[in-house]
Amino acid sequence: MEHTGQNSPPGNHTTLVEFILLGFSDVPNLQGFLFAIFLILYLIILMGNSLIIMITKVDPSLQTPMYFFLGNFSFSEICYVSVTLPRLLTDICRKSGNISFLACAIQMYFFVTLGANECLILTAMAYDRYVAICNPLHFPVIMNTRLCIQLAAASWTTAIPIHIGFTSLVFSLPFCGSNQLNHFFCDVPPIVQLACGDTLMIDMLIYVIAALLVAIPFLLILGSYVKIISTIMKLPSATGRAKSFSTCSFHRMSATLFFGSGIIVYFRPKSTHSSGMDKFLSIFYTTVTPIFNPIIYCPRNKDVMVALGKFLKKWIVL
C-alpha cells in the first residue's frame, strides 16, 4: 500500500491508491454471526421491496399516486442497500476490506446520490398526502400522471450533477496519512476525516448540500404534516379523522426513521463525531430503515394486504 504516515514531511508524500475498510474487524469472533445477520437482512430488504414494486405495478387498485411513489421508493431502497451490503458481505467473507480509490469514490457517489433521491421521493409522497387530505376535490386534477412522473424524474435526477461535483472535490483532497477507514463503506465523514490539510471548504459544502437535499425536504414534509394534522382535526367525524390519519401514518414513520438518523450523522458538529457512533447510525439508515419499508407498508396497510393476497393467489394457482 502506497501511503506515508500522518506526520510525514511535505514533499515526501506518495499517492494513495486504496483505502482499507475496517468494518467490524474489531469483533473477529462475531464475523460469522454478522455475515448471517446482514445476509438475512439484505435478502428480506430485496424480497420485501421487490414484492411492493410488483404488486403496485400489477394490481389495478394500487394504480394511484401514493403507490406510484411507493414503488419508486422501494426500487430506490433496493439500489441504496445494494451499494453497501454486498460489499460488506464480501469483505467479511474474504476477511479483508481493501477498496481501491476509484471504487471507494464510486461507492460514495452512488450512496449519497441514492440517499438524496430517497429524501426527495419522501417529499413527493408528503405532497401527495397533503393534496389528498387538504384539497381532496382537486386531487385527481393536481396529482395527475404527468405531475407524478415529473416529481419522480426530478427525485431521481436532481442530485446526480450535485454529487458528481461533490464526490470529485472530496477525492481531490490530499490523503497523506493513514488509509484505514473505521467504517464498513465509503461514507463522507470518515473519508473527509482522513484528508490532510484544510478541509473547511468541504465541511461547509457538506452542510450546504445536506441543507438542500436533506434539511429542506425534511422541513417541507414537516410543513405538510402541520397542514395535514390541522385539516384532519377540523373534520367533524371521529371515524373520518382516524381514516385520514391512517392514510399518512405509513409515510410519516418512513420519513421519521430515514431523516432522523441521517440528520444526526450529517448535521452534528465535526467535533462530536465518533467513528463508533457514526458506524452504528450508518447501520441504522443503511440497513434497519430499508427493512422497515415493507414491514410498515405491508402488514399494516389493508389495500396492500388485499393486493398481496390476490397476487400470491394468482401465482399459487399458476
DSSP string, 131-160: HHHHSGGGHHHHT-HHHHHHHHHHHHHTHH
Looking at residue 13, what is its pLDDT?
46
DSSP string, 242-301: HHHHHHHHHHHHHHHHHHHHHHHHHHS-GGG--HHHHHHHHHIIIIIHHHHHHHHHTTT-
Domain contains 6:
no
Q: What's the mean pLDDT when you consider all of the chain?
A: 83
* Residue 315 clears pLDDT 70, i.e. is over it: no
Cα 127 from chain centre: 19
Query: Which secondary-structure segment (H or E) carries 207?
Result: helix 200-210
- Of 126 and 278, more confident: 126
The torsion angle over the Cα atoms of residues 152, 156, 157 and 162, rounded to 10 degrees, is 130
Q: Which domain holds residue 302?
A: 18-317
- Of 232 and 281, more confident: 232
Grid cell locating 221: 414534509
Question: What Å distances lie between residue 311 and 72, 304, 307, 308, CA to CA?
Answer: 19, 10, 6, 5
- pLDDT 10s digits, 43-55: 999 998 998 898 8
Domain contains 13:
no
What is the domain-level CATH number for residue 181? 1.20.1070.10
**Segment 214-223 mean pLDDT:** 90
- pLDDT 10s digits, 105-131: 999 999 999 999 999 999 999 999 999
The torsion angle over the Cα atoms of residues 132, 135, 136 and 141, rounded to 10 degrees, is -90
Tell me if 179 sits within 8 A of 18, measured CB to CB.
Answer: yes
Tell me if 14 sits within 8 A of 177, measured CB to CB.
Answer: no
Structural domain tally of the chain? 1
pTM here is 0.86
Domain contains 9:
no
- Identify the bridge partners of residue 100 per DSSP, sorted by sequence position: 18
Domain contains 181:
yes
- The upper half-sphere exposure of residue 261, i.e. CA atoms within 13 Å in the direction of its Cβ, equals 20
Going by the DSSP 8-state scheme, the letter that residue 20 receives in this structure is: E
Domain contains 285:
yes
Interacting residues of 24 by C-beta distance below 8 A, sequence separation 6+: 30, 31, 34, 92, 184
Tell me if 232 sits within 8 A of 245, measured CB to CB.
Answer: yes
Burial of 7 (0-12, 13-18, 19+ CB in 10 A): exposed
Domain contains 311:
yes
- pLDDT 10s digits, 135-176: 989 999 999 999 999 999 999 999 999 999 999 999 998 888
* Residue 299 clears pLDDT 60, i.e. is over it: no
- The upper half-sphere exposure of residue 311, i.e. CA atoms within 13 Å in the direction of its Cβ, equals 19
* Residue 245 clears pLDDT 70, i.e. is over it: no
* Residue 9 clears pLDDT 50, i.e. is over it: no
* Residue 298 clears pLDDT 70, i.e. is over it: no
* Residue 277 clears pLDDT 90, i.e. is over it: no
Number of CB atoms found within 10 A of residue 201's CB: 10
Domain contains 277:
yes
Question: What Å distances lie between residue 11 and 8, 14, 24, 70, 179, CA to CA?
Answer: 9, 9, 34, 53, 18
Buried b (16+ CB within 10 A) or exposed e, 13-29: beebebbbbbbbbeeee
Domain contains 8:
no
